[in-house]
Structure 1
């Protein structure tokens, strides 16, 4: 995050909101400019948001639920809404899907940041549990876990986040296609 020396904050909350805004600034600086593919643009926004949270895990863990109400946040919302509109969503759906998409990206990013911010021994124990503890549960009590546990992926596997974002983008695409298929639809 950019260093901002000489700034004074009235309280910790004001400082946190400035850090959230700086995180948005970092995300925007690393996200490529919009291209012709709205879905790829949304994916890029999500990836760079997630990356910013992981670069600053203590801030990321605290910032998902906060609204900075500052320029960089406004710019990120504008970018996501642009993607929603280019996807073909009407205003009502664009507003709703933006909210869900943004909250999911922020929430997942905060969860991963929280994991990264844990003390190393605690983090390793949590990660290891999915590779050891779950594999030893009795199949008669936990038949579904016993069947699937050998296929569990790590909590920190980066593909988990990408898969979640892909699912959201697929749902947006499906929503647009379903609307287009409606006879006499009004946008």
Structure 2
């Protein structure tokens, strides 16, 4: 009579659910050198057949949307300023979004091509609309300033994340231009004149400056003329 030993038994597969997959996806996206999320690599990390992931997410885009929405939701959760300090709340949301995208660049890089319609994204939109409404805006001006801030935050944070995914440096202030602009001053006099200043620009500083410009614009639009 033969007996089945523990060694002979098939390895037990991980029981998957959406939350477990999302957590593993965030860990994978935060691994240095990972420039994109592979369903195969995600399955290996989970100890599961990659095809099992598609039982919970209909497509790769659906999976990436869930990961991005989780980051959006976490960014909203970091906002602690009271509602009346609407400008500080917008700053906190913007900075948290950038930081989370930079820590998970394989996800953050997709921010301008994916619309999640999930609870995290909706919470971020609501927070921004509420902030500009408390500033005194309504109607077209309210919506326009929301769109300006959202576009700036998502596009620049996604671009910074894409660069971070490719290079994985610890520097939070990566140069805006990756190499000095060497230009013939006879043909490009202004570039030659400002080449040093251009080389000193940093992504994070430009990101924060853009956020301040939108907030200042909202304050001016809300002020009576």
CA gap of 1:126–1:98, structure 2 versus 1, over 3 A, is: closer
1:65 to partner: Cα distance: 3.2
1:63 to partner: Cα distance: 1.9
Matches within 5 A, 1:97-176: 97-119=145-167, 128-130=178-180, 134=181, 136-154=182-200, 156-176=202-222
Distance 1:119 1:73 in 2: 28
Q: Which SS does the other structure have where 2:82 is aligned?
A: coil
TM-score by length of 2: 0.69
Per the alignment, residue 102 of structure 2 pairs with 54
User: 1:71-130: CA deviations, max 9, x gaps?
Assistant: 111111111011000110012211121112111110010011011111469xx9995413
Q: CA RMSD, aligned part only? A: 2.4
1:139 to partner: Cα distance: 0.7
1:4 partnered with 2:19: yes
1:51 to partner: Cα distance: 1.0
TM-score by length of 1: 0.81
Per the alignment, residue 73 of structure 2 pairs with 25
1:64 to partner: Cα distance: 2.4
Distance 1:128 1:141 in 2: 22
Larger radius of gyration: 2
CA contact (8 A) 2:175 2:202 kept: no
Greater relative CO (CA pairs within 8 A, separation 6+): 1
CA contact (8 A) 1:112 1:156 kept: no
CA gap of 1:81–1:28, structure 2 versus 1, over 3 A, is: same
CA contact (8 A) 2:79 2:92 kept: yes
CA contact (8 A) 1:85 1:91 kept: no
Distance 2:148 2:179 in 1: 30
Per the alignment, residue 67 of structure 1 pairs with 115
- Where does structure 2 lack aligned partners over 5 or more consecutive residues? 1-17, 22-52
- Where does structure 1 lack aligned partners over 5 or more consecutive residues? 182-187
Matches within 5 A, 1:168-187: 168-177=214-223, 180-181=224-225
